[in-house]
A and B are shown apart, each in its own frame.
Chain A
């Protein structure tokens, strides 16, 4: 909207937001970012499906703030930021996973942890006298600056996460959607919860590196939330979620390439646009669906009704 308005008044602003000069050269320079975006999209799309099933968006936000604190502490101490954020994430994920079994407890614990983590992060950053972009990057993302060691980290964590999710797929789905019967059928429901949180912690830590602590939800919550609007099949939902997340990350990076602005707003905007489109599709289908449903509702319940 603002882009459209601005285009009438100031063509240079559009040029700032969308600039595709020397695109080929830039693309080869930013190869690492595009690969990182694609990997992140795959992993976040997959875990997003479970985050939504288990009603954990708030937990994701809480973990990302502690991940930020860990990264800020690492920055101050002069050690690897990736390791710092991973440590912060895992601590938060374990606390939430072990203490917050019930939704109400969990939300309270997250509400308590989150500002504490953010506060610690602010403190560490205030004490740090390095480059300002490093500080800001932790909060709003720094995908453009990803280097090869970081990319290796990212890919390594992704392999672990994807493997873990594929192994846990069925029991985790069962435990997430139908916990009582899952327990009755022998699924280790109580064990899966902290294990999933650890995996989630890893994903959040790597997302913080790319899109920043404040914006992790745009690739860990939005993709599956969008997918669930257009399909009720768990497999299709997971596939769509991966597709949406990858479109948001890679698409956002490609759109942002020529401009000097941070990449994150492009990723979050693409992600949000996909969600809006999915809701519109759902609404349009909804207009035709009630006819079918209405025809089915009066159908006799059980031919063998005992009277």
Chain B
């Protein structure tokens, strides 16, 4: 792919105490590229995102966004979190959530800035959520809420979109809806996507490259390069079977260690 990288990771390293989660991590992400970040809980996926957001320093190496170090609240970076229910009654409508994405970090009330209304309407329309703009967020379904989240993350037209397990707790249909919206955006606007997930299948048709973190090591490459029995077995240093069944990737035999549990986080999970 052409173009200068939006995101550069140069020899990055993450340690917690004596435990090294990864080191020597180097990766260039180009405009419009879709990179899936896979790995167990506690493998440092969320920390990687926090480092790109400028919220947390890594133990070593350098992160560059458009050639410059990360800055808190940079308009170049959008962020979609996991779906989380808001406790009712919360005074927040879909449009308010998107509006916070426009200028929620600025001081003052912002009551007089009317220019943002059009931005909010456009962003909601672009994710096909115009009809739910006035509804309280706590009454939205998980899928609707995540579409509003996409609008919130894209309203400032970022160059890089960070997605932190945005499909978690969504059903299959909503997962597809959310991923296809993100895919459409990167194709139309060249937004690079870093997509953290523990389940590759929902994003399989879109992924350009995979960053797989496991057991203090990592591998990058295309799906066909990384998601193979040989690569994952080497990564985990244990026999792992990767099967292709009906267009799906099934990984079997990932060894159970505190750093290699794919669903419920173990009690002694490293805080990331």
Contact = CB atoms under 8 A, between A and B. Distances in A.
16 contacts: A53-B90, A169-B109, A171-B107, A174-B104, A174-B105, A178-B100, A183-B53, A183-B55, A185-B79, A186-B54, A187-B104, A229-B89, A232-B90, A304-B180, A306-B180, A307-B176
A178 B183 CA distance: 25
Interface string A177-191: 110111111110000
A288 B109 CA distance: 33
Contacts of B141: 297
For the side of the interface on B, what is the size category? 35 or more
B15 to A, nearest CB: 23
The binding surface of chain A is classed by DSSP as helix
Contact of B131 (A228, A232, A296): A296
Interface in A157-183: 166-171, 173-174, 177-178, 180-183
A201 B139 CA distance: 33
B97 A178 contact: yes
A48 B29 CA distance: 46
Interface of B: 53-55, 71-74, 77, 79, 81, 84, 86-87, 89-93, 96-97, 100-101, 103-111, 127-128, 131-132, 134-136, 139, 141, 143-144, 147, 149, 152-153, 162, 173-174, 176-181, 183-184, 205
B91 A228 contact: yes
A86 interface: no
Nearest to A238: B91
A229 B174 CA distance: 30
A305 B173 contact: yes
A186 B74 contact: yes
A184 B79 contact: yes
Contact of A186 (B105, B111, B135, B180): B105
A2 interface: no
A301 B109 contact: no
B91 A233 contact: yes
What is the size category of the interface that chain A forms with chain B?
35 or more
Nearest to B156: A185
A305 B104 contact: no
A302 interface: yes
Kindly list the 10 A-B residue pairs having the minimum CB-CB distance in the complex, ordered from nearest: A186-B73, A302-B177, A174-B104, A232-B136, A184-B79, A306-B180, A237-B91, A186-B72, A169-B109, A228-B89
A68 to B, nearest CB: 30
Interface in A227-249: 227-229, 231-237
Nearest to A232: B136
Given A169-B109, A187-B73, A232-B89, A301 B55 contact: no
Contacts of B174: 301
A96 B153 CA distance: 32
Interface hub of B54, B86, B100, B174 (most chain A Cβ within 10 A): B100
B107 A184 contact: no
Nearest to B90: A177
Given A181-B79, A184-B79, A301-B143, A231 B91 contact: yes
Contacts of A185: 73, 79, 100-101, 104-105
